[in-house]
Structure 1
Amino acid sequence: MNILITGGTGLIGRSLINALNTENDQITVLTRDIKKASKLLNANIKLISSLSLEDIENQDTIINLAGEPIADKRWSYSQKNKICKSRWDITEKISTYIQQAKNPPSLFISGSAIGMYGRQDNDVIDENFQQFHPEFTHRVCNTWEHFALLAKSSKTRVAILRTGIVLAKKGGALAKMLLPFKLGLGGKISHGKQVMSWIHIEDVIAAIIFIQNTPTLEGAVNITAPNPVSNQVFTSTLAKVLNRPSLITTPAFILKVIFGEMADLLLFGQHVVPNKLQKNGFKFKYPIIESALSHLIQK
């Protein structure tokens, strides 16, 4: 099978490539830095630094995971622009080439996030939810998904990954939280009632492969564990697994001073459920937050 991946050096991309059969599959990775990618990825991977119609032809699957990390820097005007363009431009280009290809891929899997829904109260959100909150994360994801869906045709199935908070030992939100919690400085954020829709990295990869092998799955797919929890439950569980106290509360105003608008990612949440995955028979390896955190931290 021929598979083209963008964002292959990111957290999800690296884990996905490790899970794929690189001996039998021809995997091509689009990267801005071939030298860096060659150090991070399997030697059997073909690396390209630009995309052409020829690269799209004869691919069986394209998996688009490229994008500037959304929570690494304060959201200045230039950073917002980088977040948007790093997602929109490559996705629009891929869809355009798929439309032009004589032999397009049978499947285009493109990234998105539960940020599509914007901040929500405690309503349970599945893929049919439409009461989006019109904030920055929604605008990013809405346009991102629009460009991806342009590739849909009788020849190409399109699936959109609305991914939640990915938990992994190396990288992502958990890696940033571990040090303060190990030092006994962890605790809930603000009132702690905001819902965190999380997912273990192994379940993310298994879900992507499941989508690849399930022809009925298309359109938006929530990539989250079936049991989201409040921030208070998440932080107390993390402290319990680490055998540390969870006594400190971080006030909302401090986060707003430090992170500006980006603080909204921490102060508001969404209760997202993976309805499509479960209805199609996907089984989560880590459906409960305590088992997920225990596995990652013990590992």
Structure 2
Amino acid sequence: MKILLSGGTGFIGQKITQLLTKNNHEVYILTRNSDRFDDKPYVHYVEWLTETAFPENNLMKIDAVINLAGESINNGRWNDEHKERIYDSRIESTDEILRIIRALESKPSVLINASAVGYYPSSETKIYTEQSLEKGSDFLARTVVDWEKQATLAQDEGVRVAYGRFGIILGKDAGALPSMAMPYKLMAGGTVGSGKQWLSWVHHEDVARAILFAIEHDELEGPFNVTAPNPMRMKEFGKTLGRALNRPHWIPAPAFALKLALGDKSALVLEGQKALPKVLEEKGFTFKYSTLHQALQEIYS
């Protein structure tokens, strides 16, 4: 297949590209700085989101589109300016993806759009699947609700749309895990907030596999949770992380300190959802890393 990918130079984009090329798919990566990159076997870089860029002119027949583009939620403290960039970058890039799809003479069969389990309200007691109708009301929830709504417009072009609601993606050198692991490496790891909040996590390799699975399964449409089937409460997550690093779990991180340090971003670790991957499992997807012990063992091996 020929697959168009936005956000392809980021953490997850690189993992997806590796998996796609390993399976002999051709990947066209959208980037503002195509001159910085040289094409490689099965990988091509196409300029977009500049005044002179018309990427559709460099794309012949595209079978699928993956949209991951957007300002990282893991960088820096959330203030009003950063939140505006997080929101606007997702909506604007999705608008451009829609424009490209409309301009293509031969339409792709599917658009896989990124989203997040932050779609659901935070809760210490509820379990969320893709059938759950409740929506959160905080900044991240509003962002992903609008992001999904915008991506769904591709259906007007006869394109199947599925959006992967990502949990906390675990990788050694990128994503949320390095900052979560740092206190343990400094011998200062401990329970974050109350410790009762749920953390729906997923190994980066399973994220890439789930995206390819969604492309290959025509019956998969709408939301699908990209989370391991065994979420954990934050306290147990921390203890498991400490064991994986051979470090103690003992110094708590109080909620007020995190709110001062991170601003609204503190909600990512102080609040959470227990989100289960019901759609993926019902369609026959098997997680390679279904337990946190397995995931951390691979990451830190």
- TM-score range normalised by the length of the shorter chain: over 0.9
Residue 48 of structure 1 pairs with residue 46 of structure 2: yes
Task: Say whether 1:220 aligns with 2:223.
Answer: yes
Cross-structure match for 2:21: 21
For residues 223-243 of structure 1, give each alpha carbon's deviation from its aligned partner in whole angstroms, at most 9, with x where no partner exists: 000010000010000111111
What residue identity is the alignment partner of 1:131? E
How many angstroms does 1:255 deviate by?
0.7
Corresponding residue for 2:100? Answer: 97
Distance between the aligned counterparts of 1:185 and 1:118, measured in 2? 30
- More off after superposition, 51-60 vs 74-83: 51-60
Match in the other structure for 1:160? 163
Q: Distance in 1 between matches of 2:158 and 2:58?
A: 17
Which residue of the partner structure matches residue 88 of structure 2?
85
Q: CA deviation at 1:56?
A: 5.9
> Which stretch of structure 1 is more off in the superposition, 16-25 or 64-73?
16-25
1:197 to 183, 190, 200: 200
Count matched residues. 296
CA shift for structure 1 position 257: 1.0
Structure 2 residue 282 is matched with structure 1 residue 295: no
Q: What is the aligned partner in structure 2 of residue 141 from structure 1? A: 144
Residues 25, 42 of structure 2: 8 Å contact kept? no
Deviates more, 1:13-22 or 1:90-99: 90-99
CA contact (8 A) 1:161 1:223 kept: yes
Match of 2:110 in 1: 107
1:286 CA displacement: 0.7
The answer to whether 1:2 aligns with 2:5 is no
Q: How far apart are the structure 1 equivalents of 2:160 and 2:58?
A: 18
Aligned to 2:34: 34
SS at structure 1 position matched to 2:259: helix
CA contact (8 A) 1:225 1:287 kept: yes
Which residue of the partner structure matches residue 243 of structure 1? 246
Q: Quote how far apart the aligned CAs of 1:101 are.
A: 3.6
The reply on whether 1:68 has 2:66 as its aligned counterpart is: no
Deviations 1:49-95 (A, max 9, x none): 21544356521011111110113122222211110111111112212
Measure the CA separation in 2 of the matches of 1:85 and 1:11: 20
Q: Deviations over 1:183-202 (max 9, x none)?
A: 21111101100000000111
User: Residue 115 of structure 2: SS of its match in structure 1?
Assistant: strand
Q: Are the structure 2 counterparts of residues 133 and 155 from structure 1 closer, same or farther at C-alpha, using a change threshold of 3 Å?
A: closer
Question: Which residue is equivalent to 1:275?
Answer: 278
Please give the secondary structure, in 2, of the residue aligned with 1:193: coil
- Residue 285 (structure 1) aligns with: 288
In 2, distance between residues paired with 1:47 and 1:100? Answer: 19
TM-score, scaled to structure 2? 0.93
Contact 1:3–1:62, Cα closer than 8 Å, also in 2: yes
Q: 171, 191, 205: which is aligned to 2:174?
A: 171
- The separation in 1 between residues aligned to 2:37 and 2:192, in whole angstroms, is 36
User: What TM-score comes out, normalization by structure 1 length?
Assistant: 0.93
Distance 1:135 1:92 in 2: 23
Mean CA deviation greater in 134-143 or 112-121: 112-121
Q: CA deviation at 1:295?
A: 1.3
Question: Contact 1:56–1:98 (CA<8 Å) still a contact in 2?
Answer: no
Relative distance call for 1:23 and 1:212 in structure 2 (3 A) is closer
How much does 1:24 deviate?
Answer: 4.1
- Which AA in structure 2 matches 1:211? A
Query: Identity over the aligned pairs, expressed in percent?
Result: 38
Which position in structure 2 is the counterpart of 1:266? Answer: 269
Task: Note the C-alpha offset of 1:103.
Answer: 1.4
Q: What is the CA-CA distance between 1:22 and the residue it aligns to? A: 6.3
Range with greater deviation from structure 2 (274-283 or 65-74): 65-74
Map of 1:124 onto structure 2: 127
The offset of 1:154, in angstroms, is: 7.2
Q: Are the counterparts in 2 of residues 111 and 160 from structure 1 also a CA contact under 8 Å?
A: yes
